[in-house]
Amino acid sequence: MMRKFLIYVLFIAGSSWALSSVIAWSFETLFLAKTESQVNYKLSRFYDFNDDVLFLGSSRAEQSFMVDTIFNGDHAYNYGLVGTGNWLWPKLLEDAVANDKPELILINVDPDSLDHGTEWNMSYYLDVPHHSTVFSALKFTTRRRIRFFPFKYFGQYIELFRTGIKQWKNSTSYDNKGTNISIKPPNPASFFNQDMAKDSVLLCKEDDLQILSEILLKNNQDMVVFIKLPSYQEKGYKIFFNQLEDRFEGVPLTYFLDYTGELSNKSNWNDHLHLNLGGATKFSKMLRRDLKLAADSNLIEIPPSVQFHSFN
């Protein structure tokens, strides 16, 4: 009797393993292949290290930097990811600095501190190399869930299917080279919280500043540009961004661009923090102008694989 029971248990376990493997393989083939519509594509692409211009940051980066409006060429990409705030980009910066490849790295710095933000979506990290700074920084429970095939998909099937179909059949946003901007009319309720649009008066923690300082001091080839994006009806508080700028003044290969107060007309915004397509187009032209001025003045260096977009 016990032997039959054990055989039955092993049969159920083996069948479950086989079924899970088939489902996981199907998701990898149909929804998680290396196409831009997939939720884990950006970080998978990032760690190929084939791009020479990297836009990093949060949803504000994803919805503000229109790559083709700023640069021509196939080696510039927007790696902004929703919900990550300032949590993700310092880890990506550390891995980029360590890859022995010169790059231009443009970073959207969100208010209000370097520990603002979260991992947000486990699916972002499904293909992140396990030796990377990003993987090491993930919560233990996240690392455990995504470490092995097919276990990394347990509990994620419905979410991956929903996200995959939604992005695969995308018809409500501008989606190009990592930039994703909603083209739906804004919801008036999205403008209710003006306080979200100003920098906090909280100071950046010294430990976080020290970690970022060490990354920048180790850098000897990547040009790093920190960017403060505008917000709708912001009141001009820039304490956190100014603190970063003061701290890293004189550090080689760093540059700062501050757009506080720009694009103040409500017609440019989807909500207090995110530009709409028209606003992002205007901002990207402004950024292109300022980057070109900086390059012409030898303050930054542009990789030879890309050229500035020219407007007739």
Q: pLDDT for 116-157, tens place per residue?
A: 778 988 889 988 999 999 999 999 988 887 866 555 565 555
Nearest to 79 by CA among 99, 100, 65: 65
- Asked whether the predicted pLDDT for residue 198 surpasses 70, the reply is no
- Asked whether the predicted pLDDT for residue 220 surpasses 70, the reply is yes
Tens digits of per-residue pLDDT, 42-74? 999 999 999 999 999 999 999 999 999 999 989
Sign of the torsion formed by the C-alpha atoms of 182, 187, 192 and 194: positive
Residues 14-29, mean pLDDT to the nearest whole number: 70
Tens digits of per-residue pLDDT, 285-303? 999 999 999 999 999 999 9
Q: What is the residue-averaged pLDDT of the chain?
A: 83
Task: Output the pLDDT for position 185.
Answer: 83
SS (H, E, C) the chain: CHHHHHHHHHHHHHHHHHHHHHHHHHHHHHCCCCCCCCCCHHHHHHCCCCCCEEEECCHHHHCCCCHHHHEECCCEEECCCCCCCCCCHHHHHHHHHCCCCCCEEEEECCCCCCCCCCCCCHHHHCCCCCCCHHHHHCCHHHHHHHCCCCHHHCCCHHHHHHHHHHHHCCCCEEEECCEEEECCCCCHHHHCCHHHHCCCCCCCCHHHHHHHHHHHHHCCCCEEEEEECCCCCCCCCCHHHHHHHHHCCCCCCEEEEECCCCCCCHHHECCCCCECHHHHHHHHHHHHHHHHHHHHCCCCCCCCCCEECCCC
Task: Output the pLDDT for position 199.
Answer: 43
Using CA atoms, how far apart are residues 213 and 211, in angstroms rounded to an integer?
Answer: 5
Task: Output the pLDDT for position 50.
Answer: 96
Using CA atoms, how far apart are residues 206 and 245, in angstroms rounded to an integer?
Answer: 14
Q: Which CATH class is domain 35-120+171-308?
A: alpha beta
Residues 114/204, Cβ–Cβ less than 8 Å: yes
**Where are the chain's structural domains?**
35-120+171-308
Q: Which residues contact 277 (CB under 8 A, 6 or more apart)?
A: 174, 181, 183
* Angle, vertex CA 269, rays to CA 266 and CA 274, nearest 5: 145
- Asked whether the predicted pLDDT for residue 90 surpasses 80, the reply is yes
Strands 53-56 and 76-78: parallel
Task: Output the pLDDT for position 209.
Answer: 84
pLDDT category at 197 given cuts 50, 70, 90 is very low
